[in-house]
Amino acid sequence: MNVLIDEEQIRLQIERTAAEVSRRYRGRPLLMVGILTGSFIFVADFVRALDIPCEVCFMAASSYGDSDVSSGDVKITRDIDRDLSKYDVIILEDIVDTGRTLARITEMLKERHPLSLAVITLLDKPARREADLEPDVSLFTIPDLFVVGYGLDYAEKYRQLPYIGVMDS
């Protein structure tokens, strides 16, 4: 396993981005929506870095199964039941690859009329983008590599790694 982004780089980018979110959303009703399962570590570290109150909930969607290639069939397996019209909503995503999953989720959430909707992703892989969607904030842009760690997995393994690593061929 080769380290692509180490723990310190992740921590610094989260702190910088959380400081900006804290400044921009101070005094506003903020709901952070994590996309399970890959984002759980990112969500935990991100909300701890905020210095403003927020609520947290999770959705789950999948298009990978046990493969390292997206099937293209996005399934929402866990939805949220909040009245989004009362919140500024920020989706926290682990990685934007083809963008299909995130496009489906943002479309669903926009239909619920949040006060505002933004997407912050830990990793952005624009070389594989198929959906017409760009995150509002990307902490890191990466090349077209299959990565694991910091919540991201391959067949449910490697989520515990404290860094982003590239799978050996």
Contact 96, 138 (CB under 8 A): yes
The range of the structural domain enclosing residue 93 comes to 2-166
Residue with tokens 């669903």: 108
Among candidate residues 94, 97, 124, 153, the one labeled active-site is 97
CB neighbours of residue 144 within 10 Å: 9
- pTM across the whole model: 0.91
Report the alpha-carbon distance of residue 82 to residue 65 in Å, rounded. 27
Q: Verify whether residue 97 is a known catalytic residue.
A: yes
Cis-peptide, bond into residue 37, ω within 30° of zero:
yes
Query: In sequence order, which residues have a C-beta less than 8 Å from that of residue 165 and are 6 or more positions away?
Result: 1, 2, 3, 4, 147, 148, 149, 158
Q: Show the low-confidence residues of the chain (pLDDT under 70).
A: 63-72, 169
What SS3 state is found at 141? strand
Question: How many domains is the chain partitioned into structurally?
Answer: 1
- pLDDT, tens digit (0-9, with 9 covering 90-100), for 119-136: 999 999 999 899 999 999
| Amino acid letter, 96 | V
pLDDT of residue 75: 81
Specify the CATH number for the domain of residue 156.
3.40.50.2020
Closest C-alpha to 150, from 126, 130, 123: 123
